[in-house]
Amino acid sequence: MDTKLLDILACPLCKGPLHLSADKSELICKADALAYPVRDGIPVMLEGEARTLNVDERLDK
């Protein structure tokens, strides 16, 4: 994913920053504990498509 795109994207719910996962398959919002999928290099920024982070992911373990 292009780093310039990542710089301008924000969480659609809280408008907070997003972080790219280590495997580059999700954009993570720590504030809302949601992970938005990245499919074919395109972020899917829909709340219904996001998965909830588990406790370990929320604590960066």
pLDDT at 61: 54
List per-residue pLDDT tens for the chain, 61 residues long: 677 888 999 999 999 999 999 999 999 999 999 999 999 989 999 999 999 999 988 887 5
pLDDT at 53: 96
26 three-class SS: strand
> Structure pTM?
0.88
pLDDT at 12: 96
pLDDT at 1: 67
Let me know how long the chain is: 61
3: part of which helix (H) or strand (E)?
helix 3-8
